[in-house]
Structure 1
Amino acid sequence: MDLTRFTLTNYNNLPNKGSVTWSSPSNIALVKYWGKKEHQIPENPSISFTLDACKTITELNFEKKSKTDDSFSFKVFLDEVAKPDFHPKIETFFKRIETYIPFLKDFHFTIKTRNTFPHSSGIASSASGMSALALCLMSLEKQLNPNISGTDFIQKASFLARLGSGSACRSLEGDLVVWGNHQQIEGSSDLFGVKYPYQVHDVFKNYHDTILLVDKGEKQVSSTVGHNLMHGHPFAKQRFMQAVHNISKIKDILKSGDLDGFIALVESEALTLHAMMMASNPYFILMKPNTLKIINKIWSFRQQTGLPISFTLDAGANVHVLYPEKDAEQIYKFIKTQLVEYCQNGHYICDRIGFGAKQL
């Protein structure tokens, strides 16, 4: 793996101070990434819908140190409140990317971040948060290297974001992003996410994702712990092969507009993710009783009406309800009248496909 292309070697005339702000969305995987190798390399390829409403807005203020030392200097604020408990994760991120962003220790950074979705809502903010921070750092690099191309800027930002949170590399572009090398996806890489390069049927444009917040508590199992459970997992090899096969299948589904095929694949992927956790050692059940009630309601409604409603899950209890724009009115009515009652405090988020990060 040649990583020299991501290394900034010649830079001078560091700015004394400045500020940059990026907004970056979360994403929801259709074919799941679960299990990673060293250096945040995925064990299998994945593909995700980029979201629109659920995003993180990060402002990075930087000021050149009067004297460079051998430490990272930064403060982190969430919603204008200092968050020292975020420091270890940012410190780890900076250590991982210092080879590629060698001016990190030349500055003191003030990182001000906020989410458009409630904190501790059960929506993973690491993907949106780390991608927004990576983009801010790349905007600073662009001041030092103004000739960097748009493609190289995005690829390196995705590469950096991956070192903070694996799925963060899928949040920079949209509406569909592939991460992980796959023989049938041109340009795909284990090092960064790439915008899905092939034809997509109109039915998958403007797809909706209503997120039902079944459990808004902290994650029962951290992503790092969860991924590590795949080491020595009795079904790991079969799972990785299944994901590779499903990327091939979803390529045909996305082109043809096969909603039945989409539903079957996406729901199977969601349940397989949870099955892997239930079969790991130690084992976990991350779904809650209301998760199962929602899934059964969705299945019953789909059977009765023939409408193409489906679900997917992250590594938690919340349910992402997926459905096309053409059926949104009927399906949203069903969600409000029959599913919201299973959400914690009746909370849910209406989202849909988005098109990636923006500099503000």
Structure 2
Amino acid sequence: MKESHFIPEKYLHNLKNGSVTWQSPSNIALVKYWGKYGQQNPKNASISFTLNNCNTLTELKYFLKDSQNQEFDFNVYFEGEKKDDFKPKIESFFERIEQYIPFLKHYRFEIHTSNTFPHSSGIASSASGMSAIALCIMSMEKLMLPEVSSDYFNQKASFLARLGSGSACRSIKGELIVWGAHENIQGSSQLFGIQYPYQVHDNFKNYQDTILLVDKGEKQVSSTVGHNLMKDHPFAEQRFQQANENLSKLIPVLEQGNVSEFIKIVESEALSLHAMMMTSMPYFILMKPNTLEIINRIWSYRKLQNSAICFTLDAGANVHVLYPENEKETVLVFIKNELAPFCKNGEFIIDQVGFGAIQK
């Protein structure tokens, strides 16, 4: 499939004024994507759990302009407060998607958005935020082209979201989403995320993710800068190969319910991501001392309790603690007693795998 597939020929209906609202979740990658080319294309395939409780609620109000001009016209409000500093990223997003959404300059927009999690908590707010905007825009297009199928709607929403933030393409649906062309995963694409097409053992149903907020400040390095550092990285090609091989290894692991192998792959992926940042030029250490303390305590608990608990990390200090639903009660006691003291103000977020975005 080519990008031109998402360019509409002609709209059947015109819209005047109205609003659409979507709630879209964040996600956490199990096999990481780190490194891109062209227009937000991934250098390797990735797979993620869609989250349930960590989401963004976005209302897009649209008003047909009296006269057309060559500028995008919009304002952004975050939790009721006007946020002009959010505008450059959305302006860039609109520029990237305009050829696929040709009505953007015909309307004045108000974007009202809020998160169920702290904005600076290190959770992928760009994934939930950009996917929510993409879904709102697709709802407008659906009103103009009612015959659009649900499959096309979801594919194009994921495609658009990717152009705003790469990982956002994995936040449209759930529970497991693959993004990036992979020879062993049928239907996988560089252009959009797909629902994982193969069997998943009951061991991985309703998987839990408790997010430990070690650091709530601004990122030490932005995702864009981090991805760009892969262009001249001495280990980049080996890393892309490793990620694709790990995704291949996950296929039988997910089917057979092999939790011990799942743990090895997921934790290795998290540490590999951080190893790439530590060996780039310039180099960054994104983990904090408390991140390492938490990891070591997770390892000790797993060994002593014969538990299936494990961790993963995004490009930051916070820790995602993953574990099966049948261990929820005991693991939460462990987290509250032994891990929460290493979080900023003792804060953590209890979440689990979800099923994707919802129109409100």
Q: Does 1:56 align with 2:52?
A: no
For structure 2, the residue ranges without an aligned partner over 5 or more in a row are: none
Contact 2:12 2:145 in 1 (8 A): no
Which has the larger displacement, 9-18 or 58-67?
A: 9-18
Aligned equivalents of 1:109, 1:51: Cα separation in 2: 28
Instruction: Quote the residue 1:107 is aligned against.
Output: 107
Letter in 2 for 1:111: I
Instruction: Quote the residue 1:272 is aligned against.
Output: 272
Return the offset for 1:9.
2.1
What TM-score do the two structures reach when normalised by structure 1?
0.99
Aligned equivalents of 1:340, 1:254: Cα separation in 2: 30
Aligned equivalents of 1:354, 1:174: Cα separation in 2: 6
Aligned equivalents of 1:41, 1:299: Cα separation in 2: 35
- Could you list the structure 1 runs, at least 4 aligned residues long, displaced by more than 4 angstroms after superposition: none
Return the offset for 1:13.
4.0
Letter in 2 for 1:330: T
Q: Does 1:128 align with 2:128?
A: yes
**RMSD, aligned CA:** 0.7
Instruction: Quote the residue 1:161 is aligned against.
Output: 161
Instruction: Quote the residue 1:5 is aligned against.
Output: 5
Instruction: Quote the residue 1:238 is aligned against.
Output: 238
What TM-score do the two structures reach when normalised by structure 2?
0.99
For 1:20-57, what per-residue CA distance to the aligned partner results, in whole angstroms no more than 9, with x for missing partners?
A: 00000000000000000010000000000000000000
Instruction: Quote the residue 1:282 is aligned against.
Output: 282
Instruction: Quote the residue 2:199 is aligned against.
Output: 199
Instruction: Quote the residue 1:308 is aligned against.
Output: 308
Instruction: Quote the residue 2:37 is aligned against.
Output: 37
For structure 1, the residue ranges without an aligned partner over 5 or more in a row are: none
Aligned equivalents of 1:3, 1:275: Cα separation in 2: 34
The 5 Å alignment of 1:245-260 reads 245-260=245-260
- Equivalent pairs counted in the alignment come to 360
Return the offset for 1:284.
0.1
Aligned equivalents of 1:122, 1:145: Cα separation in 2: 37
Aligned equivalents of 1:151, 1:13: Cα separation in 2: 21
Letter in 2 for 1:199: Q
For 1:244-272, what per-residue CA distance to the aligned partner results, in whole angstroms no more than 9, with x for missing partners?
A: 10110011110000010000000000000
Instruction: Quote the residue 2:295 is aligned against.
Output: 295
Q: Does 1:349 align with 2:349?
A: yes
Return the offset for 1:5.
1.2
**Equivalent position SS for 2:181:** coil
Aligned equivalents of 1:14, 1:81: Cα separation in 2: 31
The 5 Å alignment of 1:183-198 reads 183-198=183-198
**Equivalent position SS for 2:39:** helix
Letter in 2 for 1:82: K
Instruction: Quote the residue 2:19 is aligned against.
Output: 19
Letter in 2 for 1:60: L
Letter in 2 for 1:71: E
**Equivalent position SS for 2:28:** strand
Letter in 2 for 1:228: N
Which has the larger displacement, 329-338 or 105-114?
A: 329-338
Return the offset for 1:12.
5.2
Aligned equivalents of 1:144, 1:335: Cα separation in 2: 49
Letter in 2 for 1:28: I
**Equivalent position SS for 1:316:** coil
For 1:98-147, what per-residue CA distance to the aligned partner results, in whole angstroms no more than 9, with x for missing partners?
A: 00000000000000000000121221200000000000000000011100
The 5 Å alignment of 1:206-225 reads 206-225=206-225
Aligned equivalents of 1:168, 1:341: Cα separation in 2: 31
Return the offset for 1:226.
0.3
For 1:74-105, what per-residue CA distance to the aligned partner results, in whole angstroms no more than 9, with x for missing partners?
A: 00000010000001000000000000000000
**Equivalent position SS for 1:197:** coil
Q: Does 1:93 align with 2:93?
A: yes
Aligned equivalents of 1:170, 1:345: Cα separation in 2: 30
Instruction: Quote the residue 1:329 is aligned against.
Output: 329
**Equivalent position SS for 1:114:** strand
